[in-house]
Each structure stands twice: as C-alpha cells, then as structure tokens.
C-alpha cells in the first residue's frame, strides 16, 4: 500500500489553480506522484486529483484542513483528502447469480482490489458457500413487499455497526428504497446487465434479443433514486450475431459484467472518481 495522500478538488476554473495546489504541497516538502486535472463542460469546471508521497511531508494530515482551508476558500474549492494506504470497508449485496461476486472475491484476495469485505448481504442462501470459503460473514434477509422497510432498517443497522464505506450490488435483484439510498449518496455501485441507457429495468437480455441488436453491454453506475439512472462509472460491450440465442447473450453478458463491475469498484476505492452533474470524471 502506498504511503500517500490524495487530494480531490472541484471548483470553477481559474488561472493558477494547478500552481497553487502544487506550491502548497511543495511548501511542506511533499513529492507529487500524480497530478491529473480536467476542465468539464462549456464553463470549464475544474476537477483534479493530486497524489503525493507522505514520507517526509511536514504537515500532519489532521492539520491539513486548517492549513489548506484558506486556499480552498479563496478559490471556492469543494475538496476532500484521502489516504492511499486506507483499505475501504465494502459490503457486497448479492442474490442468486454469483459470477460478479466470485470475481470480486478473487480480485480482492489476489490484491487487485485494496479493500476489505467485512460482510455479505443476500436475500437468498445460494451464495453462502462462497462466503464460507473466504471466511466472510453472510447475512440472509428475505425481502417481501410487506417487510421491505423493516429489512432495510435491519440491513442499515448492520452496515453501520461494521462501519461500511461502500456498498456493491453484485447482481442484487432488489430495488433499494429512496430512503435507504439517501443514507449512502455516491456510495452504492450497481452493475446493470445492459449498455445503459438502453434496456433499463428487468430482463434486458430478453429486450436486446427481441430487438435484434448486434452489440450488448454492461454498465456499472452509482445508485440514485431513479432506477438505472445514476452516474455511469464504466461500460463494456461485446458483439453478437444472428447465430446467438438468448442464452448466448446472457453468457456473454456475464463475462462483461464481471470486468465492468470490478473496474468501477477499483476506481472508487482508489479515489479516482469525481462527479460533475450526472457524469463521472475518472482519473485512471
């Protein structure tokens, strides 16, 4: 794990922003490892990610807000700071389909995802064998229309007790309520098995097959109150032909879903994503 600090900045674009940030870090003997910035939209809204080595940095991070605050106020910055060494605590939600779950577990164990999985939550027992294999607590909450509010409250209490930073819906086939989502703004990532905004809702492969499309896709996005309408983080596509039946579309789609979701989770936990309106800017 890197012993680095990460500064994420958003504000109206002005001359001298790059130089001001770089000079501030240099002032405390910081060595910049990465400095990426982007001007978004016609108004050229400024977004930046700066990562620097904390070895020899003469400012304690607990004192960073007090020192950086006046500069941030001068330029109207919306900003936050993160540690490169911090491993976010991620809860995985899953139903019956386990391909995305297994891929996430493998990548985390292999070191590709620098996070912790303190627990899994499901509305079915099907994926418990994977949780048992990796030694992760597995909680089953059957959901009905009548019990949905009560179940979500129990789930939220469990997430808070485990100090969860991020929720990943790895083919979790339940629609979360607006009340639940409101507690985790820009902290819930979902994988949708189509190339949004095409074929929203349930059974997108069936819709794609009936429409006769030549490309199918998968989309990882942040969850908002509007179904399948949150900011898109990553997408992937694969070509299909007239020879492919419905099951072929589903099989090819699952391969896409695994890769697309893992990329989105990695970029989030590495603090590489900034939101602008309903879009994402991703510093790879």
Among residues 267, 176, 178, the alpha carbon closest in space to that of 220 is found at 267
Active-site residue, 228 included:
yes
The residue from 18, 29, 228, 248 that is catalytic is 228
Q: Is the backbone of residue 171 left (phi > 0), alpha (psi -120 to 50) or beta?
A: left
Give the list of residues 6+ apart from residue 12 with CB closer than 8 angstroms, or none.
Answer: 43, 45, 46, 76
Spatial separation of the C-alpha atoms in residues 159 and 88, rounded to whole Å = 13
Contact 91, 109 (CB under 8 A): no
Alpha helices (runs of H) in the chain, residue ranges in sequence order? 17-27, 64-75, 99-109, 128-134, 148-161, 178-182, 204-211, 246-269
Q: Which two tokens stand for residue 14?
A: 């002005």
Among residues 100, 222, 86, the alpha carbon closest in space to that of 163 is found at 86
Spatial separation of the C-alpha atoms in residues 178 and 90, rounded to whole Å = 20
- DSSP label of 133: H
Cα Rg, the chain, nearest whole Å: 21
Spatial separation of the C-alpha atoms in residues 137 and 121, rounded to whole Å = 9
Please give the angle made by the CA atoms of 21, 185 and 261, to the nearest 5 degrees.
Answer: 90
- DSSP label of 125: S
Spatial separation of the C-alpha atoms in residues 277 and 131, rounded to whole Å = 37
First to last CA, the chain: 17
Active site residues: 228
């Amino acid at each position: 794990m890197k012993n680095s600090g990460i500064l994420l900045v958003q504000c109206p674009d002005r001359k001298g922003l790059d130089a001001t940030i770089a000079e501030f870090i240099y002032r405390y003997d910081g060595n910049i490892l990465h400095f990426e910035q982007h001007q978004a939209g016609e108004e050229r809204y400024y977004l930046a990610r700066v990562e620097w080595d904390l070895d020899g940095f003469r400012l304690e991070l607990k004192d960073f807000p007090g020192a950086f605050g006046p500069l941030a106020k001068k330029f109207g910055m919306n900003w936050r700071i993160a540690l490169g060494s911090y491993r976010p605590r991620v809860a995985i939600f899953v139903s019956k389909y386990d391909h995305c779950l297994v891929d996430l577990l493998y990548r985390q164990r292999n070191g590709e995802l620098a996070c912790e999985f303190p627990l899994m939550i499901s509305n079915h027992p099907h994926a418990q064998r994977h949780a048992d294999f990796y030694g992760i607590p597995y909680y089953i909450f059957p959901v009905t229309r009548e019990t949905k509010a009560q179940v979500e409250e129990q789930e939220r209490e469990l997430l808070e007790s485990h100090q969860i930073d991020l929720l990943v819906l790895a083919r979790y086939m339940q629609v979360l309520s607006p009340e639940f989502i409101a507690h985790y703004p820009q902290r819930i990532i979902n994988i949708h098995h189509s190339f949004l905004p095409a074929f929203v809702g349930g059974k997108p492969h069936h819709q794609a097959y009936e429409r006769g499309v030549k490309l199918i896709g998968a989309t990882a996005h942040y969850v908002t109150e509007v179904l399948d309408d949150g900011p898109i983080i990553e997408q992937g596509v694969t070509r299909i032909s007239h020879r492919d039946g419905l099951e072929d579309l589903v099989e090819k789609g699952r391969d896409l879903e695994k890769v697309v979701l893992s990329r989105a989770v990695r970029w989030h936990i590495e603090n590489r994503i900034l939101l602008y309106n309903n879009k994402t800017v991703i510093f790879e």
